[in-house]
Structure 1
Amino acid sequence: MLFDGWQGIWRTALVGVLAYLALIIILRVSGKRTLSKMNAFDLIVTVALGSTLATILLSADVALAEGLTALAVLVLLQFVIATLSVRSKMVSKLVKSEPALLVYQGRLLSDALHRERVVAEEVLAAVRSEGIADLAAVAAVVLETDGTFTVVAQNEQPAHSTLRNVKGYPPQHES
């Protein structure tokens, strides 16, 4: 069926505008954390929000109030989990992965690459994107909790205080 009448189209348009505006308000009230770079937990919530919004728009069986309640519940749960993860290391470890050290002092850490399922080419591309042509000029490459790479360049006075919470730092000697 290509066209089932104007009633469905008007409902979708009206509910779409209202649900979209409500989602923007809910996300703004919940804070910047909801819209930040995503770890796996945040991605799940984002996909669930998108799926819920699509259901609100396309299913006449779901009233706008029910759909908005579902959106609010998802954002509230994300807010509660994010707040608990800030206050509790145990919750944080359940929800977020730890950053992982992949390169240290210009050396690829093959065990860490394997454990994190990262190929050396991805790391080398991240190093190049920072304008560094030689791996020996790299103090560290960290796989962050959101899946991005952080490249720390070597400098004359090594200070690695930002690496203290990185899994695998300092690295054990690999064979």
Structure 2
Amino acid sequence: MDWSNMLFQDWEGIARTLFVGILAYVCLVCFLRISGKRTLAKLNAFDLVVTVALGSTLSAILLQESIPLAEGATALGLLIVMQYLVTFTSVRWSGFAHTVRSQPSLLARNGEFCRDAMRRERVTEEEVRSAIRANGGREVEDTSAVILESDGSISVVQ
């Protein structure tokens, strides 16, 4: 095994990574500024997937010499355009929004667990209790509502 190739191959590869990395980063920042704040919002699972996909695409552009900058920028642009189209359509058509986004779920109400909802959402009593403690409460009986939000966070209404 040639250990030297694992640590360093040549200066050309480093120069390419620096050059393409700077240009890809500038391209991504420009696309994000054009598309608006919502593109990187982690409001729900769909938004999170797009954010992860953007990071993965940027990583591939930087590290895979077989991907030219123009193709990588096209891939970044495509992801951002698709995110924009999905959010644009979601705002204007509730049926579509319901298809691509999860709705909040009530996990506890008036001090009682909503066990069917917890089972459906795969949330344990201990996770609900932990969220209650994190929000300054002590027990489920101290709450009016515990809600699993569409972004996966748990909100507690005292």
Q: TM-score, normalised by structure 2?
A: 0.91
- Aligned twin of 2:145: 140
TM-score scaled by structure 1? 0.83
Equivalent runs, 1:124-163 vs 2, <5 Å: 124-153=129-158
Gaps of 5+ in 1: 154-175
Structure 2: 5+ residue stretches without partners: none
* Large movers: runs of 4+ above 6 Å: none
Structure 1 residues 7-86: aligned runs within 5 Å: 7-86=12-91
The equivalent of 1:161 in structure 2 is none
Deviation string, structure 1 residues 35-84 (Cα, Å, up to 9, x no partner): 22242211221222112111111122211111111101100100110111
Does residue 112 of structure 2 align to residue 107 of structure 1?
A: yes
CA offsets 1:115-161 (integer angstroms, 9 cap, x no match): 110001111111111111232221101100000011111xxxxxxxx
Identity across the alignment (%):
50
Question: 1:151 is matched by which residue type in structure 2?
Answer: V
Aligned residues: 153
CA distance in structure 1 between the aligned counterparts of 2:126 and 2:32, rounded to whole angstroms: 37
Letter in 1 for 2:91: V
Aligned residue number for residue 5 of structure 1: 10
For residue 54 of structure 2, give the secondary structure of its aligned residue in structure 1. helix
Secondary structure of the 2:144 match is: strand
Native 8 Å contact 2:146 2:157 kept in 1: yes
Counterpart of 1:14, as a letter, is F
- For the residue of structure 2 that corresponds to 1:50, the secondary structure is helix
Task: Give the RMSD, CA atoms, in angstroms.
Answer: 1.2
Give the corresponding residue for 1:167.
none
Letter in 2 for 1:120: E
Name 1:117's counterpart in structure 2. 122
Q: 2:103 aligns to what?
A: 98
